[in-house]
Amino acid sequence: MKRKLVLSACLVVITLSSFGYYVFSHSDYPEVAIVGEWREVSWVYDRNNLDEKVKQEIGSDERVDIANHLVIHEFENWTFRKDYSIKLHERSGKEHFAKWRLKDRGRILTLLNDDETVEVYSVESLKKNELVLHFDTDVHARGIVKITLKKIK
């Protein structure tokens, strides 16, 4: 009887260990999943300060007002590299380089610019081919801006 109990316990431990190894070895860490080139698809107001759904597309003039202290408003492609650097591509061909970090289990994206300014974004969603970022703005008291990016490669 005691031998069956020990054998059952060993079998349970081996099964749970195998399952845990499989889950962790087949899941991408956020730092791995974000590496690659991403294209901005849209900027919309996701929520205002009253937690109402707004879903209003943001035009280029308003986009400049919202992000006047951010680097990202000028760029449409983001290339995250394995060495934690990011290259931001402008339509005109101009490029900007910064350092990136994911914090809080991949929920916070920070960009450290060359002039030592820091930009902070909330990672709403990071999927294989889609990245959704949020950041707060008080321009026109609209609240949270949602930036959606699609993976190019």
Cα–Cα distance for residue pair 108/136, rounded to 1 Å: 13
Least confident of 67-71, 100-104, 112-116, 134-138: 67-71
Q: What is the DSSP string of 128-144?
A: SSEEEEEEEE-GGG-EE
Q: What pTM, to 2 d.p., does this model score?
A: 0.66
Mean pLDDT (whole number) for 36-42: 90
| Cα-only R_g, the chain | 21
pLDDT above 90: residue 57: no
Cα dihedral value 150, 29, 86, 47, nearest 10: 50
Count other Cβ atoms within 10 Å, centred on residue 109.
24
Q: What is the pLDDT of residue 96?
A: 87
Least confident of 38-42, 91-95, 127-131: 91-95
